[in-house]
């Protein structure tokens, strides 16, 4: 896809990709969900005592990942320069919207089940190849990237710490140069895919003076999970679940070769923002799809369910809830699509839409939470039942107000950009 592709061409590309993706899910993914139906329905069977997925399910996810990679879906959002599909951001959000609109929340082999579980079907910066790998050494390109592109290996994004989440400059993990190696010490927390990752992108302070001035001083290292001193034993349960894909990483005198540095020394913050910005937009696209899924289910239900001698669709109170959800979805979708277009135009305009990415993430997630809440209300007791995944969708939306920048951080970013003179809309 060329940089001069029209909006219509990108929409056509997304539709064609979705057609193939749906066929892949129907042939390769849904049969697995049926095979593991009993296990997926009971988290006491789904997770081991240590919080990790039982072996047969973990192996099934690996199988899906590898098949998706072979079919061209797993790395389709990654840049062509590193061997990915190079799909533009607009196509990416349209694909995620379509995927989640069709299949909804709570799908272990599709994504976003248990709130933090990543998708084995489509990779992202939290587990697979992404824009973060644009500035890598030959060693990483030759030794690590092929396994990620093939879906055989995964990575995790090791930024957040017990005392440094929204405040990136509060990182306590340190990396000290020792000849041709770096020695890393520190702790990472709430790291998605940490319990399963083969490699970790670890952000550490390499120049305390620059970091204290917020002028750099943070570097990113690709650390092998089998390195001596590296541990990811702790799995963190998430709201409403007995476990998750989230965990802690401890680094005790972990030695990392200099050729595992990602980007330039002291410039890791830029690498981190590449991943976070990508994640924010992808979350936004997925939340639009989840919202549409909830409204679709609600429209089906209100036409069938009767109360007081009339279908729910005839009650004005229900009509208002449907209309409010449509307003939320329409405005969120237009926000996300326009933001994706601005991201695709960066090479032409030179303007990075920092403000718009934050607007898209905050707005779409919060609208999704409201739409899910209305869907539960419309379905009444059935909406609260675990037989319907609305409760899972609501928890996902509520959870997504925190990762990749909290709702408050998004607003802080938006306000800072406005005060700097970025008042383009």
For residue 164, what pLDDT band results from cuts at 50, 70 and 90? confident
Give a yes or no: residue 2 inside a domain.
no
Give a yes or no: residue 300 inside a domain.
yes
Asked if residue 167 and residue 75 are part of one domain, the reply reads no
pTM of the model: 0.94
Listed residues 252, 269, 286: the one ending a domain: 269
At 151 the pLDDT is 96
At 113 the pLDDT is 62
What integer best gives the mean pLDDT of the chain? 94
Q: Which CATH number does the domain housing residue 189 bear? A: 2.40.110.10
Q: Which CATH number does the domain housing residue 361 bear? A: 1.20.140.10
At 112 the pLDDT is 63
Per-residue pLDDT tens digits for 175-217: 999 999 999 999 999 999 999 999 999 999 999 999 999 999 9
Per-residue pLDDT tens digits for 76-89: 999 999 999 999 99
Per-residue pLDDT tens digits for 318-359: 999 999 999 999 999 999 999 999 999 998 999 999 999 999
For residue 424, what pLDDT band results from cuts at 50, 70 and 90? confident
Number of domains in the chain: 3
Three-state helix/strand/coil letters over the chain? CCCCCCHHHHHHHHHHHHHHHHHHHHHHHHHHHHHCHHHHCCHHHHECCCCCECHHHHHHHHHHHHHHHHHCCCCCCCCHHHCCCCCCHHHHHHHHHHHHHHHCCCECCCEECCCCCCCCCCCCCCCCCCHHHHCCCHHHHHHCHHHHHCCCCCEEEECCECCECCCHHHCCCEEEEECCEEEEEEEEEEEECCCCCCEEEEEEECCHHHHHCCCCCEEEEEEECCCCCEECCCECCCCCCCCCCEEEEEEEEEEEEHHHEECCCCEHHHHHHHHHHHHHHHHHHHHHHHHHHHHHHHHHHHCCCEECCEEHHHCHHHHHHHHHHHHHHHHHHHHHHHHHHHHHCHHHHCCCCHHHHHHHHHHHHHHHHHHHHHHHHHHCHHHHCCCCCHHHHHHHHHHCCCCCCCHHHHHHHHHHHHHCCCCCC
For residue 387, what pLDDT band results from cuts at 50, 70 and 90? confident
Q: Which CATH number does the domain housing residue 45 bear? A: 1.10.540
Per-residue pLDDT tens digits for 58-110: 999 999 999 999 999 999 999 999 999 999 999 999 999 999 999 999 787 87
Asked if residue 381 and residue 310 are part of one domain, the reply reads yes
**Residue 365 in this model has a pLDDT that exceeds 70:** yes
């Amino acid at each position: 896809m060329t940089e001069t592709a029209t909006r219509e061409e990108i929409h056509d590309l997304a539709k064609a990709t979705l057609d193939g993706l749906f066929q892949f899910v129907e042939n390769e993914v849904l049969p697995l969900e049926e095979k593991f139906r009993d296990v997926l329905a009971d988290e006491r069977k789904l997770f081991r005592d240590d919080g990790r997925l039982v072996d047969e399910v973990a192996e099934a996810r690996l199988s899906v990942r590898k098949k998706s990679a072979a079919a061209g879906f797993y790395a389709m959002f990654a840049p062509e320069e590193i061997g990915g599909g190079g799909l533009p951001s607009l196509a990416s959000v349209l694909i995620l919207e379509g995927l989640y609109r069709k299949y909804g929340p709570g799908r272990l082999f599709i994504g976003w089940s248990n709130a933090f579980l990543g998708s084995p079907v489509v990779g992202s910066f939290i587990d697979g190849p992404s824009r973060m790998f644009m500035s890598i050494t030959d060693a990483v390109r030759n030794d690590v990237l092929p396994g990620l592109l093939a879906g055989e290996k995964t990575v995790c994004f090791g930024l957040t710490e017990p005392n440094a989440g929204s405040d990136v400059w509060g990182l306590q993990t340190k990396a000290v140069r020792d000849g041709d190696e770096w020695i890393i010490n520190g702790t990472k927390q709430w790291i998605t895919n940490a319990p399963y990752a083969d490699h970790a992108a670890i952000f550490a302070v390499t120049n305390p003076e620059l970091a204290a001035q917020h002028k750099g001083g943070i570097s990113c290292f690709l650390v092998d999970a089998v390195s001596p001193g590296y541990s990811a034993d702790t799995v963190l349960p998430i709201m409403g679940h007995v476990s998750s894909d989230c965990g802690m990483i401890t680094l005790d005198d972990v030695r990392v070769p200099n050729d595992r540095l990602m980007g330039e020394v002291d410039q890791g913050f830029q690498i981190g923002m590449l991943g976070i910005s990508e994640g924010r937009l992808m979350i936004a696209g997925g939340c639009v799809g989840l919202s549409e899924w909830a409204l679709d289910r609600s429209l089906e239900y209100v036409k069938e369910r009767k109360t007081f001698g009339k279908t729910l669709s005839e009650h004005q109170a229900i009509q208002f809830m449907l209309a409010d959800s449509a307003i939320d979805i329409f405005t969120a979708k237009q926000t996300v699509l326009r933001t994706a277009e601005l991201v695709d135009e960066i090479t032409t305009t030179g303007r990075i839409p920092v403000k718009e990415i934050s607007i898209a993430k905050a707005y779409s997630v919060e609208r999704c939470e409201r739409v899910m809440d209305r869907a539960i209300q419309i379905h009444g007791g059935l909406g609260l039942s675990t037989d319907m995944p609305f409760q899972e969708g609501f928890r996902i939306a509520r959870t997504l107000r925190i990762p990749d920048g909290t709702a408050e951080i998004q607003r802080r970013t938006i306000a800072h950009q406005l005060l700097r003179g970025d008042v383009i809309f």
